[in-house]
Structure 1
Amino acid sequence: MTHAAKGVRAGVLGMAGALACTSLVACGSGTGKEPGSTGSSGAANGAGQSSGAADGGTAAVRSASDRTTDAGTARMVLRTQVTTQGKTVSADGQGVIDLKNGTSTMTLSAEGEKIEQRVVDQVLYQKLPPGAREGVPGKKPWIKMDLRKLGAQTGGTNPSAGDPAANTAFARGVMDKDVHKVGTEKIGDANTTHYKVKVDVAKLKGGAELRKVVGPTLPMDLWIDDQGRIRRQQVDMTMTPPKGQGADSSTPKKITSRTVFELSDFGTKVTAEAPPAAETADMTAKAAQQAQQGKQQG
C-alpha cells in the first residue's frame, strides 16, 4: 500500500460519519470521477441570496434532518472522493437504510474491489476483499466495530464513523446566518430546492475532536424535496493532522474529501442481520486505541 493510500485511510477514519467506506478507500490510490457538483442545473430562484423569513429556507434546512428521519426508510447512494498527495481514491455505494434506527445494508466499490457493509444495532460490519485482510485476526472475511463502545472508549470521538445514518445529522449543525438558496432542480423524480449552508462542527457528535482536524465550519449543500426531506447532501472537508502529527513522511499534510449522499424510494423494505460470529473479527478495541493515540499526539 502506498504512503498516499495510508494517508487517505487515516484521514477517512478521522471523519465523523461522512464516509461509510472507511476500509474500502485504503484499497487503492488511483484517480476517480468527480462524485458530485455544487452547481444547480435547475432554474435559479434567488441564487446566492441569504434565505431568511421571506422564503423559509433556514427553517426548511433546520427541520430537514428530522423530516428525513420521520420518513422511516429509504434507498441510498453514497459517492466519495478522497485526495491527498496528488492521489485520488473514489468509492461508490448503494443500499437501503432505516433512518430511525440506523440499520442499513450497502455494497461499496472502489478500484475494482467490493465491500459488503451492514450496520445492525449500531454495530458496523464490513466484508473485506481477500487482499485487504492483512492485519485482521485470523484473516477473517468480516470485521466489526461497535459504534457505541467506540464512542464511549474514545470520549465521544468519532462514534459514528462508517454509519450512513449519521449523514442526515449534519443538518442539525447548520448555522442560521449561513443558509443560502441556490435554486431548484430535479433529483431523480423529485422536485428539490438547493441550499448552500455552513455547519458548525462543534454542534456535531464528536465535534470537539473533529474541529481540530477540519476547522470550525464545514461547507455543505442540501437538496430538499417538497416534503422537507433531504434528497441529496454534499459535504466537503479539508483535513489537516493536529499539531504533533504529520512528522512521519507517510502522513499527508492535507486530505480533501467530498461525500455525496442521496436518498430515494422512501418506505422501502430494510432487513439486515449480523454475519456469523465465527467469520467476524472485532476491531473495536483497535480502532479505539488508534483514536486515543491520535488524541495524545495532538
Structure 2
Amino acid sequence: MRSRGARASAIGTAVLLGSVVLTACGGDSEPEAGKPAAAGESDGGRQQGTQAVRGAYDKTAEADTAKMTVKVRAAAEGKTVSSDGKGAIDFEDGESTMTVTAAGRTVEQRVVDQVLYQKVPGQKKDGKAWMKIDLRKVAEQQGADPGQIGDPAQSAAYAKAISDDDVRKAGSEKINGVDTVRYDVSVDVSRLPGGERLRDQVGPTLPMRLWLDDDGRIRRQQIDMTVKTPASAEPGAGGSSQQVKVSTVTEYTDFGTDVGAEAPPAGQVADVTGQVARQGQKQS
C-alpha cells in the first residue's frame, strides 16, 4: 500500500503536467450544460465550428493581454489536491503575473523571459525569498523543445490536432456575463508537440471544451484527463504506476489589461533550476 507521501507526490506531478502542458485548459466541476447540438448538424456547420476553434488562439492573442484565472484539481486514491490561480498574461511573449493558492498557502508567481519566479510565504533558500526556475534549461535537460516553454503560440498546436469530425457545437452559455458558444473538441495527442511521450501519459485523445465569444476569442477552455504517473522510487511505495484524474480550467477576461511582469531583485533570488530538473528526470 502506498504511503500518504507517495500519493501526494504523484498527484503533485499530475497537477504540474496539467498546468504546464495544458496551459489554457481546465475545469473544477462539470460545466453548466449548454444546448445540445442539432442531431443533423451539416458538414458545413462542422467545418465552421472547426474554423472557429482553429482561429480562436490567434483571435485571443490579438488582444495582446488579458486577466486570467486557472483552476486545477487532481485526484488519486481518495486524495484530492487543488490549486486556484489568478493574474494576467501577455500573449505575445508569455510573461505573466499570478497568485496561486494551494494547501492553504498563497504563492506569488511571475514568468519573465521564460524564467519562473516563485515566492512562498515562510520559505527561504539561502536567506532569499524568491525561487528561480529557468524553464528553458529544464526543458533542455528533460529532452523537450525549449521553444515550447512559455510560448503562448504553442497553444495553436491544439488547433492543428483536430479535424472536422473532432468538433461539435454544443450550444450557447454566458461566461462571466459574456455570451459564448461552446464547442466540444477531441484533440489527437499524437499531433501535439511531444505527443509520443504525452500519449503514454494521457492516452490517444484529449476531450477539450472551448467557450468562444462573439469575437471568436477564448473565454474558457477546459480539459479533463487521466494521467499515468511513473512508479514511485520511495521505499515501501510499491512499483506500480498510478492514474491521476486531472481537471484544469482557464478563463480570460479584461482583454488589453496591464500585465507589468518584472523579475524580482537579483539579491532576493535563489536559483533552483538544477534541483527541479533532477526531480523531473527521476519522474520520467
Q: Deviations over 1:229-248 (max 9, x none)?
A: 11000111211135xx3475
Q: 1:46 aligns with which of 14, 20, 37?
A: 37
CA-based RMSD of the aligned residues comes to: 2.8
Alignment-mate amino acid for residue 28 of structure 2: P
1:1-298 correspondence to structure 2 within 5 Å: 2-15=5-18, 17-18=20-21, 35-40=28-33, 42=34, 44=35, 46=37, 52-54=43-45, 56-130=48-122, 133=123, 137-138=125-126, 140-156=128-144, 165=152, 168-169=155-156, 171-176=158-163, 177-242=165-230, 245-246=231-232, 248=234, 249=237, 253-295=242-284
Q: Is the 8 A contact 2:161 2:192 kept in 1?
A: no
Q: Distance in 2 between matches of 1:293 and 1:275?
A: 30
Q: Deviations over 1:66-88 (max 9, x none)?
A: 11112110010111111111111
Q: In structure 2, do the counterparts of structure 1 residues 225 and 89 end up closer, same or farther at CA, with 3 Å as the change threshold?
A: same
Task: Report SS of the residue matched to 1:286.
Answer: helix
Identity %: 44
Pick which of 267-276 and 144-153 moved more.
144-153
Q: How many residues align?
A: 273
Q: Is the 8 A contact 1:16 1:210 kept in 2?
A: no
Q: In structure 2, do the counterparts of structure 1 residues 124 and 48 end up closer, same or farther at CA, with 3 Å as the change threshold?
A: farther
Which runs of 5 or more residues in structure 1 are unaligned?
21-33
So what's the TM-score if we normalise by structure 1?
0.81
How far off is 1:54 after superposition?
Answer: 2.4
